[in-house]
Amino acid sequence: MSIKKLMEGVYWVGVVDWALRHFHGFELSTHRGSTYNAYLIVDQKVVLVDTVWSPFQNQLIDNISQIIDPARIDLIVANHAEVDHSGGLPAVVRHAPKAQVIVSPKGAESIEGHYHQPWNFKVVRTGDRLNIGSSDLMFIEAPMLHWPDSMFTYLTGKNILMPNDAFGQHYATGFRYNDEVDQEELYQEALKYYANILTPFSKLVSKKIDEVLAMNLPIDIIAPSHGVIWRKEPLQIVRKYQEWAAQIPEKSAVILYDTMWEGTRRMAEAIGYGLADEGIPYKIFHMAVTDRNDVITEIFKTKAVIIGSPTLNNGLLPTITPILEDLKGLKFQNKIGAAFGTYGWSGESVKLIEEHFGRCRIPVVAQGVLAKWQPKEPDLEACKNLGRTVAAAVREG
């Protein structure tokens, strides 16, 4: 049984992908799998809102076929072009060649760019409505939540908001609703999703939420395109997004490092002792053996980001570089930083990390510690002091 009736005439026809462990190619880890949610609305007109990732397109067609002949589909809403949602479009259009494909103005560009097909497109803008019988579809453009083409679809009468990626989670489960799953797991995945995907667009997230709330639409269900559907207190995830979008960090620190012969590790731990002396909680991550996306989620939550690397070939250890790219690209707000590392012959690592903090607009609040060869007691004491200085800045901030 892979379909679910949500209410009269509205069905979940998506796919649960239990095996997914990497998403966006290998850019994002998905420890708990994911779902690709598609919604079928059967009224005077038959509407499919979003599809599924291409490898599952036959399952989508089978799901729809359990309810109606897919040839009866009149409208296909493509809220967003990424292939985890649009991948089933070619199969659906093959079954329903006359169906209109509803897209946002930017979606016209991105869907065409992915499939190069002369489908029967209809471009809609915020506030446009399409009557489908007893209800209307209403559209809200949501650029940068999380692509320029992203769009929300609202079903009047049924009071369902289908916001595509927004409010989603990469979370495979046998259940479809938020009140049926482990709340801690659910919020871990919702936060990881926000931190890794939506952080740089936080100002737009706040504005879009304000805009949607000001429309005073009754919302009984928020049905995103990944993970569970928010049925119980659906606005709880909207309030969480408002909170996350404000990016007010916890008074804590994250220390991340890589090491060749344990010297930089010992420095990381000494910095931790300094933070602990001042009562600031911290976590240490060895980047060579830790999932990058999990660390991003920890960085999202915390105030201080302290980064360490030995110098290798006049630069950093390559395992540190990806998280530095994320630190810049995700445009974290309200952070402070500090750097440390060992060296043997030349010692550029601390300077390079501090320069990178500058590019990330993260102020460096403590003088970096650079230790030659294995750190000696004075080096470790300097690390402890760095921890204490960062702790003071965390407390002030």
What is residue 121's DSSP assignment? E
Q: Which stretch binds ligand FEO (CB under 6 A): 39-47, 79-87, 132-140, 324-332?
A: 79-87
Q: Which stretch binds ligand FEO (CB under 6 A): 81-89, 228-236, 326-334, 373-381?
A: 81-89
Q: Is the peptide bond before 226 cis (omega within 30 degrees of 0)?
A: no
Q: What angle do CA 12, 9, 84 make, to 5 degrees?
A: 25
User: Which residue reads 């402890």 in tokens?
Assistant: 384
CB of 241 to ligand FEO, least distance (A): 16
Q: Which is nearer to ligand FEO, 108 or 364 (CB)?
A: 108
| Whole-angstrom distance, CA of residue 305 vs CA of residue 129 | 46
Q: Which is nearer to ligand FEO, 14 or 272 (CB)?
A: 14
DSSP 177-189: BGGGS-HHHHHHH
Catalytic member of 226, 257, 258, 356: 226
> Is 80 known to be catalytic?
yes
Q: Which is nearer to ligand FEO, 39 or 147 (CB)?
A: 147
Catalytic member of 36, 50, 146, 171: 146
146-165 residues in contact with ligand FEO (CB under 6 A) are 146-147, 165
* Beta partners for residue 339, in sequence order: 307
| Whole-angstrom distance, CA of residue 248 vs CA of residue 355 | 24
Residue 180 in tokens? 């049926």
Question: Which H or E element spans position 48?
Answer: strand 46-49
Catalytic member of 17, 43, 82, 298: 82
Q: Which is nearer to ligand FEO, 176 or 226 (CB)?
A: 226
What is residue 43's DSSP assignment? S
> Is 226 known to be catalytic?
yes
Q: Check binding of 379 to ligand FEO (CB under 6 A).
A: no
| Among candidate residues 91, 160, 153, the one with its CA nearest the CA of residue 124 | 153
22-41 residues in contact with ligand FEO (CB under 6 A) are none
CB of 125 to ligand FEO, least distance (A): 20
Q: Which stretch binds ligand FEO (CB under 6 A): 76-84, 97-105, 286-294, 310-318?
A: 76-84
CB of 81 to ligand FEO, least distance (A): 8
| Among candidate residues 55, 72, 65, the one with its CA nearest the CA of residue 13 | 65
Catalytic member of 171, 193, 257, 282: 193
Q: Check binding of 225 to ligand FEO (CB under 6 A).
A: yes
Could you tell me whether strands 22-23 and 369-372 are parallel, antiparallel, or unpaired per DSSP bridges? unpaired
Size of the site for ligand FEO (CB under 6 A): 9
Q: Residue of minimal CB distance from ligand FEO? A: 82
> How many residues can be counted in the chain?
397
> Is 233 known to be catalytic?
no
Q: Check binding of 85 to ligand FEO (CB under 6 A).
A: yes
Residue 55 to residues 20, 38, 49, 52, 87: CA-CA distances in angstroms?
12, 14, 18, 8, 8
Contact in structure between 383 and 340 (CB atoms under 8 Å): yes
CB of 198 to ligand FEO, least distance (A): 10
CB of 168 to ligand FEO, least distance (A): 7
Q: Check binding of 189 to ligand FEO (CB under 6 A).
A: no
| Whole-angstrom distance, CA of residue 361 vs CA of residue 220 | 40
Out of 84, 141, 149, 326, point to the residue binding ligand FEO (CB under 6 A): 84
Q: Check binding of 82 to ligand FEO (CB under 6 A).
A: yes
Residue 299 to residues 22, 27, 163, 283, 339: CA-CA distances in angstroms?
20, 17, 26, 10, 15
| Whole-angstrom distance, CA of residue 224 vs CA of residue 245 | 18
Out of 32, 80, 176, 208, point to the residue binding ligand FEO (CB under 6 A): 80
> Is 146 known to be catalytic?
yes
Identity (one letter) of the amino acid at 346?
S
Q: Check binding of 17 to ligand FEO (CB under 6 A).
A: no
What is residue 71's DSSP assignment? G
The catalytic site residues sit at 24, 80, 82, 84, 146, 165, 193, 226
Binding site residues, ligand FEO, CB under 6 A: 80, 82, 84-85, 146-147, 165, 225-226
